[in-house]
Amino acid sequence: MGWHGYVALWCGVFGAVALAGYGRALAGRTRAQREVLVKGRIERVGEPRHGSSPSDGIAVVVSFQDPATGEEFTVTNDGGPGDRISAAWVGREIGVRYPRGRPHAFRLTNDLSEAGRGLGGPTFVLFLGYAGAVVAAAVDRGWPWALLGFCGPWALSGLYHLPGNVRDRNRRLDALDAMAAVPGRVVAVLESVTVDPDDGHTSTRVVPVVAFTTLDGKEVTAYCESGIRDPAGSRGRDVTVHYSPDDPAVLLLDVEAERRSWKRDSVTNAVGLLVVTAAAVAGAVTL
């Protein structure tokens, strides 16, 4: 079988897998569609142990109700499954997901929105099949097909989402201006060490944990991964915490640094969109 046959096999296999995935989504059989999402309430917050791993998250006790039976459950995330809880206070609402009819198989999540239809996997597989077709076209007909095939969809997607991205950027900048400032304190420093199995290189990740009280009386414990000088030795240090009044989980220490970062990201994204658009146009013109 020649290389064209292998490309056809590649595209056919990934196309069939993607089609099966979309079929499962239409039939409501994906994992995301079979799960129940309910709102849970944090009843108790534990203080992270100084020197423990950042991957553990903040230990919380959460209560929720199974809508199918009305039964109340009180669970803890200590060593359990689910997202890492990196900001917590008594009364905070978080998501609880579990297979329908199996509330004991819960996992906590920071996202309160309904799950998608499970189309991410099939779409990625479909892209792999499409990439094979573009590579085959580029080999047979020349490099312009590669520019048009890869940069064209990327440019169209960027242009389609550009207005929404601009609105989102403006909302985030406005949110920075609306942040409240309160005194806080670093109550623990978490640390994890990883060793590269190939070269033995050791890397250390340090995450300070701050505690502060919002203007309306919420006692918040949260990870603070940036904005602290010498984070490894910051335990016990007093800091000023800026947080969103609508959601104290959105917090930072240096508002101006965040503003500059957002502006740099906007310029980088604009330049990237111009580059891929120009590449797609160049490919189309030289066909």
Are both 189 and 267 inside the same structural domain?
Answer: no
> Is there a single domain that holds both residue 1 and residue 137?
yes
Q: Both 165 and 189 in a single domain?
A: no
Same domain, 134 and 167: no
Look at strands 93-99 and 35-45 and give their pairing: antiparallel
Q: Is the pTM of this model over 0.95?
A: no
If asked whether residues 262 and 224 sit together in one domain, one would say no
Q: Do 50 and 103 lie in a common domain?
A: yes
Q: Indicate whether 186 and 174 sit together in one domain.
A: no
Residue identified by tokens 């989102």 is: 168
Query: On the CB side of 109, how many CA atoms lie within 13 Å of its CA?
Result: 16
pLDDT of residue 188: 94
Cβ neighbourhood burial of 251 (10 Å; 0-12, 13-18, 19+): buried
Block mean pLDDT (10 aa), the chain, length 287: 81 90 76 81 90 87 92 82 86 90 88 70 89 89 90 91 87 89 95 79 89 96 90 93 93 89 87 93 88
Range of the domain at 72: 35-109
Identify the pLDDT of residue 107: 87
**Domain end residue (candidates: 109, 132, 161):** 109
For residues 40 and 96, membership in a common domain is answered with: yes
How many structural domains does the chain have? 4
| Cα 120 from Cα 165, distance rounded (Å) | 20
Q: How far apart (Å, rounded) are the C-alpha atoms in residues 112 and 96?
A: 8
